[in-house]
Amino acid sequence: MSIMRTKSIEQSIRDTEDPEFQLKKELGPLDLTVFGIGVIIGTGLFVLTGEAAAGYAGPAIALSYVVAGVACALAALCYAEFASTVPVAGSAYTFSYAALGEFVAWLIGWDLILEFTLGAATVAKGWSGYLVEVLGTMGITVPTGLYAGGGAISHDFLAVLVILAMTGILVVGIKLSSQFNLVITTIKILVTIFIIGFGVWFIDAANLTPFIPAPAPAGGGYGEGLDAYLIPSILGIDTIFGVTGIFTGAALVFFAYIGFDIVATTSEEARNPQRDIPIGIFASLGICTVLYILASVVFTGLVPYDTLATAAPAATALEATPFPAAKFIVSLAILIGLTVVVMILILGQSRVAFAMSRDNLLPRWFAQVHPSFRTPYRITIITGIVSAILTFTLSLTTLGELVNIGTLSAFVLVSIGVLVLRRTQPDLPRAFRTPLVPLVPIAAALLCLFVMGFLTIGTWVRFLVWMAIGMVIYFAYSRSHSRLGREGDSGGNVRET
């Protein structure tokens, strides 16, 4: 009954061949790349860029994207090795099960459930707001009773509709989801390129000078109590902007990079995962990093950076151009982009929970695959319903930091997992090998931990409370129901780390 028992790579792969839980292999490298881009470009670029630039980094927000991008690139090298070696649904959960043991795998799976489910609910809430804005531009007034029109808590029927629609698409089939994502993500990429190519002609160089604003008194910028940022609070830093602002900005805009790990959750549905998963991870991350840096320069070049702390900073920036229609185009692009983000977050959550249920760490009933569509329809529907309830009843709040800390912690564990698996199974066939081991995994883990330090103390507290709840569930249910544990009790071969 050891909590550190590990699931062998061979057993993980054999589980995917069980007809009762077998997923359809429909995705190629283009599908995987588009899935990654589809969820990466969204709330982070179109919303958090403005907040981070106005409050912490100024025009140097472009450097914040570089810092966050480097952290993601290092983690991506570790993800690619695991995903090509263990082509099984579940992403960091599955990787951790193989390298770090069941208890760590459970914690990271529990972490990902929080990240994806609440992320989908929050993005859906934002989606309804942008829909109202777009329709308002067209002269169509939406009754306030249909969306979150104000107040601490307000019901949002529009957000529920988009979640249910995306859930339905995911239930029908992964290929339909991929085709839908391809069309919308293509539009989103083209509009992002349009924003860059159009806006660059109207940049005022004065807005970019100085590129790194001089440190200034925080004036509450780093908050107090639970709202205080961890590392600045420990070091007694009470200024914003400057070098510290760049790293704080990186912690905020890290949300913009969440998505390449979604590619790893679809490993089991890739036609050639050993080749295609690394392609999907690196292609989506590389394309988005370039677009982010260019777009952030355009945003802060069009208007003074301290005016970008709005709900739609891209639209605010383009108001400075001589063409008002540009604002409508940007708002429409955000609406389209958030639609895809909602769908892919639900996809990621359903695949993680599917893998956990197949291992009996969650009730096995959840892992049932639809006989015709070959999708994990039960857990997908449940995820959609839970997200819909959350978005219907809760106000629109900034969950970016909570999602970020969950993702960064997953990156840390995956990076450590590469080191552990290299030591425990050095001869394991690896289609992709992380270069410069142990330097790259160690650098990835340390950089991700450093970025986590620029999140608020309250975010750390909420994250630790959620993890504590997960530990209670593990010891009350999952440990005794574990499929791996029961096989070991029956005389199966269970490895210990």
> What is the pLDDT, as a whole number, of residue 469?
93
Rg, Å, the chain Cα set:
22
Using pLDDT thresholds of 50, 70 and 90, give the confidence band for residue 89.
Answer: low
> What is the pLDDT, as a whole number, of residue 430?
82
For CA atoms 44, 235, 227, 310, the dihedral sign is negative
Give me the domains of the chain, ranges plus CATH numbers: 5-487 (1.20.1740.10)
Enter the tokens of residue 114: 């929080």
Q: Does pLDDT of 175 surpass 70?
A: no
How far is residue 43's CA from residue 49's CA, in Å, rounded to a whole number?
A: 9
**pLDDT tens, residue by residue, 209-232:** 999 998 877 655 555 667 777 887
Give the closest residue to 329 by CA, choosing from 201, 208, 197.
197
Cite the beta strand spans of 191-251 per DSSP E: 216-217, 239-240
**pLDDT tens, residue by residue, 431-449:** 788 999 999 999 999 999 9
User: If you count DSSP H runs as helices and E runs as strands, how many of each does the chain have, helices first?
Assistant: 21, 4
Using pLDDT thresholds of 50, 70 and 90, give the confidence band for residue 471.
Answer: very high
**pLDDT tens, residue by residue, 236-282:** 777 678 888 898 888 878 777 776 777 776 667 777 877 888 888 88
Which comes out higher in pLDDT, residue 164 or 142?
A: 164
Using pLDDT thresholds of 50, 70 and 90, give the confidence band for residue 351.
Answer: confident
Give the closest residue to 349 by CA, choosing from 461, 277, 266, 284.
266
Which comes out higher in pLDDT, residue 258 or 151?
A: 258
> What is the pLDDT, as a whole number, of residue 496?
44
Q: What Å distances lie between residue 297 and 37, 50, 59, 199, CA to CA?
A: 20, 11, 7, 10
Q: Does pLDDT of 150 surpass 50?
A: no
DSSP secondary structure string, 315-344? Answer: HHHHTTSS-THHHHHHHHHHHHHHHHHHHH
Helices (H), 359-399: 377-393
Give the closest residue to 69 by CA, choosing from 48, 90, 40.
40
